[in-house]
A = this chain, B = another copy of it.
Amino acid sequence: MQNTPKEWSLIQMIRYRVQRQNEHTVVPLGDDAFVFKNFPGYSVICQDMMVEDIHFKLDYASAFDLGHKALSVNLSDIAAMGAQPHFAQVSLALPEKINESWLDDFYKGMSTLGDEYQCEVVGGDLSATQDKLVIDVSMHGSVEKPLTRKGVQSGDLLLSSGPLGLSHTGLLALTKKKDGYEEAKKKHLRPLPRLDLVSGLQERHNKVHALMDCSDGLINDALQLCPHPLGLHIFAENLPIHADTSKMSLDLGIPVEEFALWGGEDFELLLAISPDDYDIFPGWHLVGQYTESPGVFLTHADGKKEITEFKGWRHF
């Protein structure tokens, strides 16, 4: 769109910050579009937006944090397909309060994380805006055997790759300005995509019934995997809860399972498998089971409780 001299100088600074040697590059950053040699397998694309005062506040999230996180949430989508990331583009709508030093730190956050996963920032756009900072990242990856959300069968176990509710714990610690809770804050501000699990999942890809990343809370996401008219039992005592979450639960008097059931942005992977294959996924946490009978239940040792307040959502 319309470039200004100020935008050109920013683009130059950004190019210096993000550009890498890459044998797949055919036409680098700085032309009308970026051109690259395809990778083996299929292409995988996704796009995720973060908006100031909806997804983050600038008083607790640094520029580096936001660069890291905007890339990470897309890397997580790539991981959730069992894929590998390659290229990212980022568009920013920038209010006047954002200066060049902030931007440099933002791209440092993006490219530092990107370098860990061989994902290069190769394009995007900059615009002024009169109000809220908006960050929108698209990503290109590749995969030979996509691991999708479809394929859950009755009786399947639901596993999580890590603690649930920890990011929400961090968000509460940040917004309530609580000392401590360092791991929770880090999980919220700089989540790591579970790309470390992709090769292991691909080795057992015919055992993976369904896979997704957990960004909207366990219940909401697990229902995305749930084919109509199956039901879901969540095992309350099994939920993987981090010590910071237990502490926050006591501190605020909120039941600890609420964090795991409804807290978003953990970016752990959720995996559905046959009970027969439970042994071949060590390190994963058993959090639930899909059932023949419909309904969503939280099961404790002493009984089960139906979760009903979201039922209307099932229409969508």
Contacts and interface: CB of A to CB of B under 8 A. Distances in A.
A1 B46 CA distance: 12
Q: How large is the interface on A (under 10, 10 to 19, 20 to 34, 35 or more residues)?
A: 35 or more
B3 A54 contact: no
Nearest to A89: B47
B132 A131 contact: yes
A190 to B, nearest CB: 16
A68 to B, nearest CB: 15
Among A1, A12, A92, residue most surrounded by chain B Cβ atoms (within 10 Å): A1
Contacts of A34: 44-46
B125 A3 contact: no
A314 to B, nearest CB: 10
B26 A46 contact: no
A313 B45 contact: no
B54 A129 contact: yes
A282 interface: no
Contacts of A36: 42-43, 45
Contacts of A53: 130
A2 interface: yes
A140 interface: yes
A27 interface: yes
B42 A38 contact: yes
Nearest to A32: B80
B81 A265 contact: no
Interface in A120-156: 122-132, 134, 136, 138-141, 143, 146, 148-150
Given A1-B215, A45-B123, A129-B134, 9 more contacts: A1-B265, A2-B264, A3-B220, A34-B46, A49-B91, A49-B92, A51-B93, A55-B127, A130-B131
